[in-house]
Amino acid sequence: MEKYAVEMLNITKKFGSLIANDNVNLKVKKGEIHAILGENGAGKSTLMSILFGLIQPDSGIIKINGEEVKIENPNVANKLKIGMVHQHFKLVERFNVVENIVLGYETINKKGFVDYENPKKKIIELSHRYHLNVDPEALISNITVGMQQRVEILKMLYRDADILIFDEPTAVLTPQEIEELMGIIRNFASEGKSIIIITHKLNEIKMLANKCSILRRGKYMGTIDVNKTSVEQMAELMVGRKVDFNVEKKAPKIGDTILEVENIVVKKDNNKNHVNGVSFDVKEGEIVVIAGIEGNGQSQLIKAITGLIPFDSGKIKLINEDVTKSTIRHKIELGMSHIPEDRQKDGLILDYSLQENFISCEYYQEKFQTKGFLKFEAISKYADNLIEKFDVRSSNGKYSIVRGMSGGNQQKAIIAREVSRKGKLLIAVQPTRGLDVGAIEYVHKKMVQVRDSKVAVLVVSLELDEVMSIADRILVMYEGKIVLETTPKEITMEEIGLYMAGSTKKDLGGKDGKK
Amino acid sequence: MSIFYNILQSVLVSMVPLLIVALGGMFSERGGVTNIALEGIMIMGAFSSAVVLILFIDKMPMQLLFIIAMLVGGLSGLLYSFLHAYAAISMKSNQVISATALNLAIAPLAAVLIKAVRKVDSTWLEWGGKTFIIKEVPLLSKIPFIGDIFFKNVFISFYIGIAILIISSIILFKTKFGLRLRACGENPHAADSLGVNIYKVRYAGVLISGFLAGLGGAIFLITINGTAFRAEATAVSGFGFLALAVLIFGNWNPKRIIFAAVFFSFFRTIDANFTLLNGLINNAIPVNFRNLFKMVPYIATLILLIFTSKNSGAPAADGQVYDPGQR
């Protein structure tokens, strides 16, 4: 009989009427990279929280290295050498790296104080051994998200974990960081550590994992050999139907100019600009995609256009009206819709219900209020309609508190609100970030639908696949400037990748860069 | 010259309870529980230490009595703060409301108890005009200048306050408990995921703040009030709220809290000695403006908050109920 590092047998967990895990099985061998695949809300995170001791299962058995165990809290998990990198990092921003790592696992020195010296040595050694390049003295708030993730990894290594759980580890990383992370994870596996990765990015599973267990709506769909299964098959197992990876769209019917942006500058502190004189326009009936690696000014550009941050110079025209100095509400009334980058911070009021979020742009209008009183019947009808039309799923319908909804459904809620307003311009920043293939397909279809209803669509995307499949026109941004304007037909993915990395037309001839 | 020393000494006297109570608030808030109940807890401490004084005033040496009164004040404050901890941590109630209840409930409670026991219609507890001041500390008082300020006409509570300051700094920044406490106040989710028991740590933080606020109440009563405890909402003259301002002005950091305490105490002393000081400068300041001095620390706090809001040391999770399910 083969020995497993982790066995989770017949795990069931209910939250009220929702069955998050229904008789789920998971078996992971030593030295194996095992992916857990499922749509948003399929129960992946619940399963891992059970393994890490954050949640107790209603029934089922867990065995670690063949022995049955009860993981009552994260301390027990630590003792069993199970470590976890959470999707939302669990770091104290105001602590430095060492303090974050020793927290909860402190050793005491001769004076009776917390010892930081020996841990520092161990951290430096571990960081060196796995090429993590982490500075133990750095303050968490001063380091990049990628580095923060490495601190999380070091936390596990410091506790000598053998079973490493990664919850959506690539969601927040740049392509290069993803590449490096994969190297680090492979390194762990070759040393005999067992790796469990929660994800819904099929390409990454294909590149990284040996085995893949699939969950669909809380149910266990089986475990597959990654080498012997195609991406299409995996997608079908996960979603329960065939998934169309190609976005179908007809040729655009381009109309009047809706958005005109002229020479926008957003200054940064030290003489460098986030956005350095960007001009472009978006016309009715087309999808314009701004491509670029994260941090090249796309976020600031969009925030300046929508009004979330002030900008230093430049002009914005919306349907022939100068809106450079207009309020956000005025722009919305002119027909601007916005699906923001940070959906939890800028897109939703997390502690409000779904129906309240649906009317959060329009609550003051006649259809939802008279004389300062809300029209609850109208609101409720409107919400029911949107929930049905956009298939927004939640435990409590329109009364669900948005904070408790899955990321995919939160995004659907925002899309429902923004698209139903029937504006003339839709701005969407990374609309598919963190979503599974089923939801991505849905979002892409909606974008094309919106475009075909004579709306100007402006999308910011970091994913090359997405750029190529939905764009009618592509703008590549690098260091605050638009360095290329093109269409998907005129260019290959590799070429765009090079522009995104800062190559110019001249050196594209001989020099070979990375994708 | 003696006026100078008098002013300095009275700055030090009112600095001590501010310092100790603000440090108490620091322990609670660094762990993530706001504690605006400091005022009420101080009154509790003052009340119970007054009872000790009445019972034992002639029965033991003065300094020993002082220390016992402080301990009893601290312990009663600890017990009283347990209510806030239970409401805020275990029952996850709104921390401002439970603390306000504590502030408002204590004076009437003390009044009822005093009337019931003494069987007279008075809310006062008097123990007479005996002083707890130490005239001179042997040897040390001979040091020029320093001796005159720190070792003559001084209360033992001054040294206790300084000791608490040093110990608090060490606990907060050097010990395991301090690291965990700060983590619970900054990001309880991180602490929880690393096996730290948030509830235990936060209880400890609030109870320590209760002890220190009660202790501060006893010190206020003996060193500032002097001869009697009155069961009124103003029993500690708003020192609990002042201490809260000291905590904020001190940026939740012991090193700065001591400066804030001296600063606040300085302006309070100027206000209290206004007539005397104004006399020295030939009454140059119109009497109508005397209350201005009382405002200075608060205005300074507001200005400081405006300019430092971005680098504020306020614990990130201060005042937030810990909900494990929240992301």
Print burial letters for A483-505: b (CB count within 10 Å at least 16), e (below 16).
bbebebeebeeebbbbbbeebee
Helix (H, G, I), strand (E, B) or coil at A242: coil
Check CB contact under 8 Å for B190 and A54: no
Inside any domain, residue B326:
no
Residue B208 contacts residue B74 (beta carbons within 8 Å)? no
Check CB contact under 8 Å for A93 and B327: no
Distance from C-alpha of A385 to C-alpha of A372, rounded to nearest angstrom: 24
When divided into structural domains, chain B yields a total of 1
Distance from C-alpha of A333 to C-alpha of A192, rounded to nearest angstrom: 59
Distance from C-alpha of A151 to C-alpha of A38, rounded to nearest angstrom: 27
pLDDT of residue B26: 97
Share of chain B above pLDDT 70, in %: 98
For B51, other C-beta atoms within 10 Å of its C-beta total: 20
User: Which residues contact residue A354 at a Cβ distance below 8 angstroms, ignoring those fewer than 6 apart?
Assistant: A383, A387, A392, A394, A397, A398, A399, A400, A402, A405, A413
pLDDT of residue B19: 98
pLDDT of residue A514: 37
Inside any domain, residue B232:
yes
Inside any domain, residue B325:
no
Inside any domain, residue B80:
yes
Determine the distance in angstroms separating the CA of A113 from the nearest CA of chain B, rounded to an integer.
Answer: 5
Distance from C-alpha of A210 to C-alpha of A62, rounded to nearest angstrom: 22
Inside any domain, residue B317:
no
Angle at A343 between CA A341 and CA A344, to 5 degrees: 135
Tell me which residue of B36, B191, B14, B193 sits closest to B99, measured CA to CA: B36
Task: For A367-423, write each residue's pLDDT tens digit.
Answer: 999 999 999 999 999 999 999 988 888 888 899 999 888 777 888 899 999 999 888
Above 60 in pLDDT, residue A340?
yes
Judged by phi (left if over 0) then psi (alpha if -120 to 50, else beta), residue A434 lies in left
For A278, other C-beta atoms within 10 Å of its C-beta total: 25
Above 50 in pLDDT, residue A511?
no
Strands across the sheet containing A313-318: A273-283, A257-267, A313-318, A321-322
What radius of gyration do chain B's Cα atoms show? 20
Above 80 in pLDDT, residue A17?
no
Helix (H, G, I), strand (E, B) or coil at B6: helix
| Band (B327; pLDDT cuts 50, 70, 90) | very low
Residue A195 contacts residue A167 (beta carbons within 8 Å)? no
Minimum-distance CB partner of A74 among B170, B176, B193? B193
Amino acid present at A303: K
User: Which residues contact residue A509 at a Cβ distance below 8 angstroms, ignoring those fewer than 6 apart?
Assistant: none
Minimum-distance CB partner of A78 among B180, B183, B195? B195
Is B11 buried (19+), middle (13-18) or exposed (0-12) by CB count in 10 A? buried
pLDDT of residue A510: 42
The CATH number for B54's domain is: 1.10.3470
For A273, other C-beta atoms within 10 Å of its C-beta total: 18
* Mean pLDDT, chain A, integer: 89
Amino acid present at A299: S
Chain A CB contacts of B316 under 8 Å are: 93-94
Distance from C-alpha of A379 to C-alpha of A122, rounded to nearest angstrom: 58
Q: Is B186 on the interface with A (CB under 8 A)?
A: yes
Q: Is B174 on the interface with A (CB under 8 A)?
A: yes
Helix (H, G, I), strand (E, B) or coil at B91: coil
Minimum-distance CB partner of A104 among B174, B186, B196? B196
Check CB contact under 8 Å for B183 and A92: yes
Residue positions counted in chain A:
515
| Band (A181; pLDDT cuts 50, 70, 90) | very high
For A7, other C-beta atoms within 10 Å of its C-beta total: 18
Task: For B153-183, write each residue's pLDDT tens digit.
Answer: 899 999 999 999 999 999 999 999 999 999 9
Inside any domain, residue B319:
no
Which residue in chain A is spatially nearest to B324 when comparing CA positions?
A54
Inside any domain, residue B226:
yes
User: Which residues contact residue B163 at a Cβ distance below 8 angstroms, ignoring those fewer than 6 apart?
Assistant: none
Distance from C-alpha of B191 to C-alpha of B182, rounded to nearest angstrom: 9
Check CB contact under 8 Å for A90 and B195: no
Tell me which residue of B309, B2, A256, A226 sits closest to B10, measured CA to CA: B2
* Mean pLDDT, chain B, integer: 90
Minimum-distance CB partner of B176 among A106, A403, A404? A106
Mutate to test the interface with A, among B171, B176, B199 (most CBs of A within 10 A): B176
User: Which residues contact residue A293 at a Cβ distance below 8 angstroms, ignoring those fewer than 6 apart?
Assistant: A174, A175, A462, A478, A500, A501
Give the pair of three-digit tokens for residue B78.
């600890």
Tell me which residue of A90, A78, A229 sits closest to B192, measured CA to CA: A90
Mutate to test the interface with B, among A103, A168, A348 (most CBs of B within 10 A): A103
Residue B25 contacts residue B247 (beta carbons within 8 Å)? yes
Q: What is the ipTM for the molecules in this complex? A: 0.89
Check CB contact under 8 Å for B187 and A73: no
For A49, other C-beta atoms within 10 Å of its C-beta total: 21
pLDDT of residue A269: 67
The residues in B 147-166 lying below 8 A from A, measured between CB atoms, are none
Task: For A25-50, write each residue's pLDDT tens digit.
Answer: 999 999 999 999 988 778 888 899 99
Task: For A99-147, write each residue's pLDDT tens digit.
Answer: 999 999 999 999 999 999 999 999 999 999 999 999 999 999 888 888 9
pLDDT of residue A515: 34
Share of chain A above pLDDT 90, in %: 62
Above 90 in pLDDT, residue A354?
yes
Determine the distance in angstroms separating the CA of B175 from the nearest CA of chain A, rounded to an integer.
Answer: 5
Which alpha helices (DSSP H) does A80-174 contain, by range? 97-102, 117-129, 145-158
Distance from C-alpha of B192 to C-alpha of B184, rounded to nearest angstrom: 8
Mutate to test the interface with A, among B172, B189, B194, B200 (most CBs of A within 10 A): B194
Check CB contact under 8 Å for A114 and B175: yes
Q: Where is pLDDT greater, at B304 or A456?
A: A456
Q: Which residue has the tokens 């105001």?
A: A94
Residue positions counted in chain B:
327
Q: Is B314 on the interface with A (CB under 8 A)?
A: no
Calculate helix-pair angle for B292-308, B239-249, nearest 10 degrees. 40
Task: For A222-264, write each residue's pLDDT tens digit.
Answer: 999 999 998 888 888 888 887 777 778 888 899 999 999 999 9
Determine the distance in angstroms separating the CA of B197 from the nearest CA of chain A, rounded to an integer.
Answer: 9
Inside any domain, residue B249:
yes
Residue A170 contacts residue A143 (beta carbons within 8 Å)? no
pLDDT of residue B145: 84
Instruction: Tell me which of B49-63, B218-232, B265-279 is least confident.
Output: B265-279
One-letter-per-residue 3-state SS of B53-82: HHHHCCCCCHHHHHHHHHHHHHHHHHHHHH
Tell me which residue of A213, A217, A201 sits closest to A51, measured CA to CA: A213
Judged by phi (left if over 0) then psi (alpha if -120 to 50, else beta), residue A188 lies in alpha
User: Which residues contact residue A275 at a Cβ distance below 8 angstroms, ignoring those fewer than 6 apart?
Assistant: A264, A265, A266, A297, A300, A301, A304, A311, A480
| Band (B303; pLDDT cuts 50, 70, 90) | confident
Average pLDDT over residues A175-179: 80
Q: Is B327 on the interface with A (CB under 8 A)?
A: yes
Chain A CB contacts of B189 under 8 Å are: 88, 90
| Bridge partner list, A475 | A290, A485
Residue-range definition of the domain harbouring residue B22: 2-311
pLDDT of residue A512: 42
Is A229 buried (19+), middle (13-18) or exposed (0-12) by CB count in 10 A? middle
pLDDT of residue A328: 94
Which alpha helices (DSSP H) does A135-281 contain, by range? 145-158, 175-190, 202-208, 231-239
Above 70 in pLDDT, residue B291?
yes
pLDDT of residue A200: 78
Distance from C-alpha of A91 to C-alpha of A144, rounded to nearest angstrom: 13
Above 50 in pLDDT, residue A513?
no
